[in-house]
Homo-oligomer: A and B are copies of this chain.
């Protein structure tokens, strides 16, 4: 594939390119997600320019959604009655082509060549197709698509068609299309709730080659405007026509192409949405028309160059070098590419579980964001984490109200949401999963620890820490023996619910309580602002100190929750390969009461709160839970991989890392078509950096305990820490720490395998790789559930 004309030519570097060809046309939905472009505010799925065949079209704006009623067969007090559902903004990617009256459709005619290539370094999606129509006319179609990282409202397509040999009559229809039909997905509880025709037309306008649509939603009170500006380059005698209906703007170009001629159509789209009571349709229209026009004036080449520059800057920190495994080298770059795309630092914006790559989980934000995505981005793009946590803070009033409705103290943040309201329709796995609040507090503490951002910690951060600490303090209770318990909650493992003293929740709540107490004591004026007095802080500390930590002394393992190890064992021998994922073949009744674990829960606790366990406890716990964890969740492989690495089971760790990083590229869960698993992609970075790098951050210091799996020769990654970029390079023999961008007098301290190390701008610090811990053989996974061996 040749680079698009008019742009600098260079040999493409295949270590930065994801390629799909005509052999992949049977997995379009997956491809559309993988090739989704986004800037954290605007997202385009990687659909074909001609719009068909298509699995699921989607153009998403962060926050744009419709509201729908939740109806329960048996309702209950405080069951959420309304839910947010992501909807698609008008689709501005469409460029349809007719060749001698026959539509370009890859399912017809003869496909000489076809590929889509995601250029991770340039941040664009390229496409080349050579096609002979059923009537025998050949054309070559190319396009380059980008969603601008620096300009949040702007996306653009640069599209060309030329005859392959003989002359052809062509008609080109460039559409901006609202309320595009989205096919229903199979009956799966994890799929999205579709709302057909969510947009109500308000304005439509076409003027020469430019067009505009303004719509509003019926229930959520939002207005969305999209303008397209075109720059067509056509041979003489081509006809051009603009046409508008309330849901469609169409630019049509018609004419004949001789060999050597081409049509090039560059389209600039500008999007905006706002609350209906925020600005009028005309105001919003004026804004996007000006933006689209400005983008056209700037031109595609400039947008392309800006994009590359923005990605270059992002990759400085985000890139990971993994020598020795080409597939996973590309896969981790793919993961980091989508993490770069997922968030923004401007405004208070968060990152939904699927980013802006699909409508899975209704476009909701879940704990995946704080627990996995922000956990990685804290060290890669901390400004994005600040933005996402400020988004939570913006919704603190709703969380306080929700806690009051639930008759709880403090705040309870939603299990799933777009607008801040609780949208979970199954309370045992939603409302009861209170750990989401501790995950949020944990993200605040991690961000504050990594950046030293005092403004945030004394402002929004403290508000969040205090409101969540108040939840735990009011929710828990002391038993006669002086132990503090959190009963009747649901932890991370979704194959359990409404348990007592879920270890993860308890330890994270302890961290939350102590973190809030520390912050208030460190910034007493900020504490005064929130009415926190020393007695309240003392109460938090007392609860944290007395927190129940369920342990089975006989088996020598911690319990995922009180009584867990006394529950009946799962009948793995009687469970067939087709019975996975178990949730589609067994009732919750059976899943909840057995010792079967969907996803890392106690293992995640050992990752988040490493200081709460001895190495021997970790080894025993890991072996016990590994044998019972089926990984029916994409959230599981990464933390399991980290602990496997810590315990010296490096082959298992590497295979778990591979599962995490290939989740979407290989569509391991058969769900990638609904959107990417950002938590799994973030988890992949954690599996590398926390697993093989041995990064731990629970004590406000950066600590490494590196170990390298035999499959890779070199692992290099960067971290941001208090304004520094630390580059860590691991080989079989040594760990190297350096500050490549630092001022001359810069320095930072870190722990390497129990030793304080001071890194300066002068020269790298090199240390030998520590010896591997020996906890015996790799512990067995459930039958058939070990990750694939690499």
Contact = CB atoms under 8 A, between A and B. Distances in A.
Interface of A: 70-78, 80, 83, 187, 189, 405-408, 424-432, 477, 479-480, 485, 487-488, 497-498, 500, 554, 562-563, 566-568, 583-590, 592-593
Nearest to A193: B73
Contacts of A78: 587
Contact of A432 (B427, B554, B583, B589): B589
B589 A406 contact: yes
Contacts of A407: 585-587, 590
A562 B428 CA distance: 20
Contact of A72 (B72, B432, B487, B563): B72
A430 B73 CA distance: 12
A44 B195 CA distance: 43
A497 to B, nearest CB: 7
B563 A500 contact: yes
A566 B479 contact: yes
Contacts of A593: 487-488, 498
Contact of A426 (B76, B187, B487, B583): B76
A568 B75 CA distance: 26
A533 to B, nearest CB: 22
19 contacts: A72-B425, A73-B83, A74-B189, A75-B189, A76-B426, A76-B587, A77-B584, A77-B586, A77-B588, A78-B587, A406-B589, A427-B587, A477-B568, A485-B566, A487-B568, A488-B567, A488-B592, A488-B593, A498-B593
A424 B74 contact: yes
Which one of A78, A425, A431, A588 has the highest number of Cβ atoms from chain B below 10 Å of its Cβ?
A588
Given A77-B588, A428-B428, A428-B498, 16 more contacts: A72-B72, A73-B80, A73-B426, A74-B189, A74-B424, A76-B583, A77-B584, A405-B587, A406-B589, A408-B590, A427-B587, A431-B589, A487-B568, A487-B593, A488-B589, A498-B498
Given A406-B590, A477-B568, A76 B189 contact: yes
Q: Report, nearest first, the 8 A-B pairs whose CB atoms are least far apart.
A: A73-B425, A488-B593, A477-B568, A74-B426, A70-B73, A75-B189, A74-B425, A78-B587
Contacts of A590: 406-408
Work out how many copies of this chain go into the complex. 2
Give the secondary structure class of A's interface: loop
Nearest to A412: B589
Contacts of A479: 566
B83 A427 contact: no
Contacts of A584: 77
A403 to B, nearest CB: 11
A595 to B, nearest CB: 10
Contacts of A189: 72, 74-76
Nearest to A588: B76
A592 B427 contact: no
A405 B584 CA distance: 12
B498 A592 contact: yes
A374 to B, nearest CB: 25
A71 B193 CA distance: 12
A638 B394 CA distance: 52
A408 B583 CA distance: 15
A640 to B, nearest CB: 25
B74 A71 contact: no
A426 to B, nearest CB: 4
Contacts of A72: 72-73, 189, 425-426
A479 B564 CA distance: 12
A87 to B, nearest CB: 18
A448 to B, nearest CB: 30
Contacts of A430: 74
A578 to B, nearest CB: 13
A77 B589 CA distance: 10
Given A587-B406, A589-B488, A593-B488, A498 B497 contact: yes
A566 B566 CA distance: 18
A568 B501 CA distance: 13
Contacts of A589: 406, 427, 431-432, 488
A86 to B, nearest CB: 16
A84 to B, nearest CB: 12
Nearest to A480: B554
Nearest to A575: B407
Contacts of A425: 72-74
Nearest to A424: B74
A619 to B, nearest CB: 22
A640 B83 CA distance: 42
A593 B554 CA distance: 27
